[in-house]
Amino acid sequence: MFKKYSIQDFLFNKEKYKIEKFILLVLFYFLSLYLTISFHIPIRIVFIPFLLVLLTINLTKIKWYNKRKNIQKSGGDWFKVTIIVIALSVVVFQYVEEVTLKNKVHTSIEGRTGMEDLTIEHIDEFNSDGENYIGVTYTIKSHSTKYQELYHLEGENLIHDRTSEIE
């Protein structure tokens, strides 16, 4: 079905398959939008594997394909790798920051309510009058009520402001 060399050329050759690569990129863009909108998957979760695949392909191209085909390495190849590593670092840092905040909020709610079976549905960070706030929507498994809490963020500390029930 697929020839070994056509797959290699598709992945690594700059000259061949430009239109097909562009079409796949557009399809990936629409797929990522569909996943983030329909299934509420954060865009960072979609881009981490994508950036890892791009990094692997580019490093393989530099280290193996260019040597095999006797093509000189260009500064553009290393520039692409650098940009991908920077983008991947930013995305991973934001993801770790988001998970850390979610864990802090979960621990705070659990400490105040004494309930461990809670599901955080939404966290929103916003700034009002120069102050940083975090709005959280969550449910507790044993209750049918949705709760919304507001936290004031001072440095790394979360200070509970208020809780309200949502019907």
Q: Is the pLDDT of residue 83 over 90?
A: yes
What's the pLDDT band for 4 if we cut at 50, 70, 90?
A: low
Q: What is the mean pLDDT of residues 124-152?
A: 88
Q: 14: domain range? A: 4-98
* Statement to judge: residues 23 and 63 lie in one domain: yes
What's the pLDDT band for 41 if we cut at 50, 70, 90?
A: confident
CA distance to 77, 145, 149, per residue, from 138 (Å): 46, 9, 8
What is the tens place of the pLDDT at every residue in 97-115? 989 999 999 998 898 888 8
Task: Give the span between the Cα atoms of 97 and 122, in whole angstroms.
Answer: 15
* Statement to judge: residues 91 and 124 lie in one domain: no
* Statement to judge: residues 19 and 49 lie in one domain: yes
What's the confidence (pLDDT) of residue 87?
Answer: 94
Whole-prediction pTM: 0.73
Q: CA nearest 75: which of 64, 83, 65? A: 83
Note whether residue 109 is domain-resident. no
β partners of residue 151: 134, 160
Domain termination residue (choose one: 98, 129, 154): 98
CA distance to 22, 73, 74, 81, per residue, from 59 (Å): 20, 11, 13, 7
